[in-house]
Amino acid sequence: MIRWPFWAGGCFVALAVLFATPAPTAADEALAALPPSQPIRPQIQIPFQEGENFKFVIRWGAITGGYSTLSVLEPDDVAGHKALHLVSEAHSTGLVNTIYPVNDRNEAWLDTQAFSSLRYEKRIREGKYHVHEIVVLDQVLHKFFRNEWREGRPKPEWSEGPIPPNVLDIFGSLYYIRSMPLAVGKSFTIDVQSGEKVWPLVVNVKKRQRIKVKAGKFDCFLVEPILRQPGIFISKGKKMEVWMTADERHIPVLMRAEVFIGHVSAELVSMPEPPLSSRFASLLEPLKNIAH
């Protein structure tokens, strides 16, 4: 079976109808027991806000395989933590959908103070491959709790283990990188929890480049994430590249990964401006009565 690779839970999705929601688990109970976290990382500037929604077209070479979205929803209260709620959805289209229908949904909840992961959930349906995984990351006790349901298995698979401080899930790592002060020649390492392991993800900022995609022309940093171990994002010996805007938002406008044959790309199609918050919207009310 050929799996479409994805990075950070959303842009290289395996091309994703939602799987049935299981009953609450011990992982959810563990999350409810977490005390509010304390800021550990230096305060960072969050370059995105509620209402942000990016749409990507996914291509395998010249073939359009589907569409993907990256969205920032209204913040959630996660057991006393104010958490950013990030969602990625993708679905296959056309011939790909006929041959190998795929629908994915990935969600992540990041603590707004420590900017670390509290919870990650993915629901994947790719052909006959159906998976629903929930991971809770206890940033106080430094442990993860994971439950995975897989089609064809008689019962869920439960696991738990240690995590380093401020670990991130796969999806959340993309948004963390967006918050970093990117500069050509700079490198940094992120601890990423996936499955039953924690992987060091090395991120290199390769160069600055102006590129054109369907959504327009953008001045970008070319960012290359590299795993010290293969198997999470891309296969051994394959390359992953992400073009992020060189402004303060660091919007991912093009992502490309080498696969078994050729490469898969996710290209930004549209990026509607987020709606104004209620606080700023109220300031505009008086302007509506001004004669032009």
The model's pLDDT over 86-116, given as tens digits with 9 standing for 90+, comes to 999 999 998 888 988 989 999 999 998 889 9
149, β-bridge pairs? 132
What the block records as the tokens of 166 is 């401020």
The answer, yes or no, to whether residue 280 has pLDDT greater than 80, is no
Distances (CA, A) of 141 to 144, 164, 218: 9, 10, 42
Rounded to whole angstroms, how far apart are CA atoms 59 and 66? 7
The answer, yes or no, to whether residue 127 has pLDDT greater than 70, is yes
pLDDT of residue 286: 52
State pLDDT tens for residues 191-207. 999 888 898 889 999 99
pLDDT band at residue 34 using 50, 70 and 90 as cut-offs:
very low
Q: Once rounded to an integer, what is the mean pLDDT over residues 213-232?
A: 81
Q: Once rounded to an integer, what is the mean pLDDT over residues 257-274?
A: 82
pLDDT of residue 283: 52
Rounded to whole angstroms, how far apart are CA atoms 19 and 27? 18
CA 160 to chain centre: 22
pLDDT band at residue 36 using 50, 70 and 90 as cut-offs:
very low
pLDDT band at residue 269 using 50, 70 and 90 as cut-offs:
very high
pLDDT band at residue 184 using 50, 70 and 90 as cut-offs:
very high
Between residues 128 and 273, which one has the greater pLDDT? 128
14-49 b/e (C-beta count within 10 Å ≥ 16 → b): bbbeebeeeeebebbebbeebeebeeeeeeeeebbe
The answer, yes or no, to whether residue 29 has pLDDT greater than 90, is no
What the block records as the tokens of 262 is 């050729």
pLDDT of residue 114: 87
Look up the pTM and report it.
0.78
The answer, yes or no, to whether residue 210 has pLDDT greater than 90, is yes
Q: Once rounded to an integer, what is the mean pLDDT over residues 276-287?
A: 50
pLDDT of residue 228: 54
pLDDT band at residue 176 using 50, 70 and 90 as cut-offs:
very high
Torsion-angle region of 260 (φ positive above 0: left; ψ -120 to 50: alpha; else: beta):
alpha
pLDDT of residue 43: 54
The answer, yes or no, to whether residue 38 has pLDDT greater than 80, is no
Calculate the average pLDDT of the chain.
79
pLDDT band at residue 226 using 50, 70 and 90 as cut-offs:
confident
The answer, yes or no, to whether residue 55 has pLDDT greater than 90, is yes
Those residues whose C-beta lies under 8 Å from the C-beta of residue 50, and which sit 6 or more positions away, are 72, 73, 74, 75, 274, 277
Quick one: which of 7, 4, 5, 3 has its CA closest to 242?
7
pLDDT band at residue 231 using 50, 70 and 90 as cut-offs:
very low
Q: What percent of the chain lies above the pLDDT cut of 70?
A: 74
Rounded to whole angstroms, how far apart are CA atoms 219 and 105? 30
